[in-house]
Amino acid sequence: MIKRFLTGLCVIYLTVSGAFASDVWVNDLRALFLNNNAIIYEINLRTFGAQDVNKDGIIDVSEGEESGNFLNAISRLDELMASGVNTIHVMPIMAVGKTKALGSAGSLYAAASFNELNPQLKSNRTALSLEEQAIKFINEAHRRKIRVIIDLPACGAYDLYLKRPELFVKDTSAQPVIPSDWTDVRLLNAGTENNINMDVYNLYKGFVDYVMQLGADGIRADVATSKPAKFWKELISYSRKKDPQFMWLAESSDSWTEAVSQDAVFTPYDKLLEAGFDGFYGSYFNMKDWRTASELMEHIKFTNSIKNKYSEPKAVIGSFTTHDELSPVLINGQPYSNMILWLNSTLPVNSYYVDGFDTADNYIYLWGNKKARTTYTDDEYYFVHRGKLDIFNFSRQPGGKNTNFKRDFVMANSFKRFIAPVIANGKFVELKSNNSSVFAYGLSYNKTTVLVFGNMNFRANNEAVIKVPHYNDSFLTIPIEMDTAPISEKDKFKVNLMPGEIQVLLVNEFELK
């Protein structure tokens, strides 16, 4: 019954959204994002369309295999559209460093240039130039009503330092600063609140011009905290004069309080929002460490309070899992992925997923940290972060084997689209539970209510009584997601939730007060 209902939603969604958009694309990403209706899928183009013929996990060009590029990525856009994805976050596409590098291809975030595309992303199976291929990829995404966010790296590669040392912070011995433990990059010197470094500003301004010319709809600023607020305010203002709908997402969190280096500036999330960023990451990635429902609920209420706190509306992404986080299946198994999926789809946040999440990839690469057969950098080893999306090598296309979860991914995204007005305009209400491990909340708008119950304990069942004032069995209640059925009574529900289980109900003609 549950699946039949959602399958109907999927058919409706694909019928309405399956037709290609007109040839004239009008950017609407900022409005979509600020209404929490973006369903964002993060991709590494170097692996997104990779063709690993012998299935050994590494792309070997000498054996006729092809790494991911702008053109072979197009073949997967229909898949994303059919999954309900309406926005892609494309990890850095600029040329990467090869000196003092990590991995056999170099880290995507070790930018050797901010105005030159990564030649690794060029297909040799066409006469189109690299820029023409990039434009074609973005245009094809737009034809499918998929918006495109481009990643802006926070640092420069050692190769760039050798060319333009004036762009970088130096330590007391006049050496370029290595931020955090990112040994393959050097810290850009963006200046201070009182004195912006115009060399770096112009570098970034050129990047903004470049990606806008390619057709991008927004920018995700890597480690945005490492630059002054004034720097960002000037840059964001510049982009908005060219396109008011150009969206800016800061990689920043309310739980981050320290600079990446003692030589770096630190700009907290609130100052970044004041500077013009449309949204940030919140701290949802900390859910893996939360044990009580109140920890989750307090953070939801906090991020909800951000929306209208500033002179312009703000939003967050459902940053429960990112490319910097372990695969959810390695943390708390499949129930954790399922909880992340439905929280993204029912909370007032923009959904956010990493390539491979939808099929439960664990991102385990058996050749990781072993000597490379072939390398294109000065690193002779396959450097990887175990359990995380590979950004250092020419590796396989992300993807697990859980086809059932793939169907759930499509259904949850379809449901999010179905309740878009509720997410954008609805009233969020925390519901009282008599069990500290069980969270409960509702969203109500225009006589439509979504109820969500979940068990934060991933090791044991939990029973709870959840108060839902003024609810009774006369309201049409449709089960959307659940493994066990709740028992409804006047003004309350009784639930017996399996470890990590989440339940979603749609109630018509009912609003929470």
pLDDT-derived band at 63 (thresholds 50, 70, 90) equals confident
Q: What are phi and psi of 389, to 5 degrees?
A: -50, 130
Which secondary-structure segment (H or E) carries 449?
Answer: strand 448-455
| CATH superfamily assigned to domain 2-400 | Glycosidases (3.20.20.80)
Tens of pLDDT, residue by residue over 329-372, are: 999 999 999 999 999 999 999 999 999 999 999 999 999 999 99
Residue partners of 124: CB distance under 8 A and separation at least 6: none
427-508, which class in CATH? Answer: mainly beta
Give the model's pLDDT for residue 22.
55
- The backbone torsions φ and ψ at residue 431, rounded to the nearest 5 degrees and listed phi first, read -100, 145
Written as one string, the DSSP assignment of 104-123 is: SS--TTSBS-SSSB-GGG--
What does the pLDDT look like over 191-205, one tens digit per residue? Answer: 999 999 999 999 999
pLDDT for position 513: 85
pLDDT of residue 177 exceeding 60, the answer is yes
Q: Where in the chain are the domains? A: 2-400, 427-508
Q: Identify the bridge partners of residue 176 per DSSP, sorted by sequence position.
A: 170
| 221-232 CB burial, b ≥16 within 10 A, e <16 | bbbbbbbbbbbb
pLDDT one-digit tens code per residue, 280-336:
999 999 999 999 999 999 999 999 999 999 999 999 999 999 999 999 999 999 999
- Please report where in the chains the tokens 């790296």 appear, as a residue: 153
Residue 443 pLDDT > 60? yes
